[in-house]
Structure formats: C-alpha cells, structure tokens
Amino acid sequence: MSHYAKIILSLCLLGLTMAGSAKADWEMSQATDPMTDDKTGFVSVDNDDATYGLALKCWNDKDRTRWIAFITTVDFDKAQKYPESTRISLRIDQEAVIDMAFGQVNIGNKLGYVTGPDFGEDYFMIEKKILNAKTKIAAGFMANLTVFNVSNGRDAMRQLTAVCPYLRK
C-alpha cells in the first residue's frame, strides 16, 4: 500500500473516532493497521468547542511512517474548491510560532489537512515539540485561531512512543 493511501485510510478512521468527541484532553488509541498488520498509535485532542482536532499518528513499520493532522468540522463537499495545501501556524506552550505547510485531505467527510516529513524540514522539530508540550498548542488556520489543551500530554505521549519508540529520538 502506498504511503499516501495509508495516510488517507488512517485519517478516515481517525475522523470517525473524533466525530463524537468533545473532550478537550489528549486521547490515545492503539490499533493494528488492517492493511499491513503494523502496530499503529495515535493521539488526538479537540479544542474546547470541538470545532477543530489535532492528531499525531505513527506506524511501527519499516518506514517509520508518521504524520500530524489538523481536522475541521467542515463537511467535505467534492464540488467545492478547497486549497490543496495551506500553511498552519503552531505555537507550542510559550515557544516561538512555527509556520508549516499542510496538504488537504478528506477525513471521514470532513475537511482536514495533514503534514509529515515530506512537507518540510521543520516537521521533526514540530513533532518533538508537540510530543513534549506541557499546557497548550495554539493553531492559526485560515484566519481562525484555536487553542488545544494538552495538560495530560505526558501520559498520552508515553503510550504513543511505546507503540513507536523511534518518536523518542
């Protein structure tokens, strides 16, 4: 299965998981990829009013596949012209703002954007900062600003790195 197909399948599954969630803390989930039998782990958090979600996912596979997703509650309309990619600004705790490219995806019929190592050299730095976030992650997205509470991040990230130990590096 191609890297892109793996991301789309997993994002669809993640979108279905997040659809009913209104909790504003990290939630952890572990599974086995149905197409490859690789172990997967992902953490996700919604903003306080559940209009946006932020997620990290990893596969314990030979390629060390991983991504960060930004998910909206906007219904994905195939007739609409959404930007193929967008820049999302992230501020993790009190760190400087980081601006990064995200590519558009349909996540369980919701508009979403995903980024990974292929989208820029800053990916690994952002991932590490998110994995170590202590209180909040602010995200600027197409003139919207939202904040994710990540106060319980230590436990969720410990579980995620147990599935994908390479994330600790």
Chain centre to alpha carbon of residue 136: 15
> Residue 4 in 3-state DSSP?
helix
Q: Where are the domains of the chain?
A: 3-168
Whether this prediction's pTM lies above 0.95 is answered by no
Q: CA angle 31-35-43, nearest 5°?
A: 30
Tell me if residue 56 falls in helix, strand or coil. strand
From first to last of its 169 residues, what are the pLDDT tens digits of the chain?
444 434 443 444 444 344 444 445 888 899 998 998 999 998 999 998 899 999 999 999 999 999 999 999 999 998 888 888 899 999 999 999 999 999 999 988 999 999 999 887 778 888 889 988 999 999 998 888 999 998 877 788 888 989 999 887 7
Topology of the domain comprising 3-168: Immunoglobulin-like (2.60.40)
Q: Measuring CA to CA, which residue among 38, 46, 71, 43 is closest to residue 57? A: 43
Torsion of CA 91, 97, 100, 103, to 10 degrees: 40
> Please, which contacts does 97-100 make with residues 24 or more away whose CB atoms are closer than 8 Å?
97/140, 98/122, 98/125, 98/126, 98/129, 100/126
Region class of 133: left (phi > 0), else alpha (psi between -120 and 50), else beta: beta
